[in-house]
Amino acid sequence: MKLPEDVRSRARLRPGGPLRERVHPVVLAGLVVLWLLLWGDVSIANVLSGLLLALLVTVVLPLPPVELGVRLRPLRLVAFAARFVLDLVRASGQVAWLALRPGSQPQNSVVGVPLHSDSDLFTAMTAQVTSLVPGSVIVEVVPPTTTERGWEHGWMYVHALGAGTAAERERARRRVALAERAVVRTFAAPAAVAAYEERCRADGTDRRCQAPDPVETTP
C-alpha cells in the first residue's frame, strides 16, 4: 500500500537535518520549565542544567516535524475556558452525587467517539480536556489514517462514569464531540476548521453537536 507523498513527507523523520531544524526555542523553553517544575525551585543551577538537558534531548533524540497550524482566537478562548470550568464544576457535582447517593452503584460504559481533526496536537488537546473532567477516563486514542481509499477518521474510547443507558452513553459521546469542536474552533487555522466541519457534516457528528442532550424515555 502506497501512501500519498504529502503524508509520507509529514511522517518522515529528519534526525540528520540541520541543527537549527532540531533545536527550537519554544521546545527548549518548555523543557526547561518542566525541569524547574520537577525540581520545585527556580535557581541559576537548575535553569542551566535544564537548558543543557533540553539541548541534549533535542539534539540526540530529535522529534519528527510537527505542523501546528494554530490560529488563536481570543474571544473563543475565553468562551472555551468558561465552558471548561462549567463542565468541571458540573461533573464534579455529578461524581460526588453518584458516590454519596444511596442505592446501587452507578453503571459505567466505554464509548467510542469518532475524531474528525487530522492534527495530533488538537487530538491531544481534546483528550486532555476530556480526561480532566471528573468521570471521564481516556481508554485509547486511535489516530486518523490516510489510505488509498482516502482519509479515515480516528477514534477516542472513553470510560464514562454513570453511563448505563443509551441516552447517557450518547451524552458522553456528545461531550467529547463538543470538546473536539471547541478545541478546533478555538485554535485551528481557517482551512483546518473548514475541513473539520466538512467531515462532521459527512457522518452526522454536526447534528450530534447541535442537538440537545438526549433524555432517557421509559416505555
Q: Write out the residue range of the structural domain in which residue 145 sits.
A: 74-210
Cα(3)–Cα(9) distance, rounded to whole angstroms?
Answer: 10
| Residue range 150-179, pLDDT digits in tens | 778 899 999 999 888 999 999 999 999 999
Residue 161 lies in a domain: yes
Together in a domain, 84 and 151:
yes
Q: How confident is the model at residue 173, as a pLDDT?
A: 92
pTM of the predicted model as reported, rounded to 2 decimal places: 0.67
Q: How many domains does the chain have?
A: 2
**69 assigned to some structural domain:** no
- pLDDT tens digits, 42-72: 889 999 999 999 888 888 877 666 566 778 8
* Whole-number percent of the chain with pLDDT over 90: 37
Residue 87 shares a structural domain with residue 116 = yes
Does residue 123 sit in the same domain as residue 87?
Answer: yes
- 32 domain residue, yes or no: yes
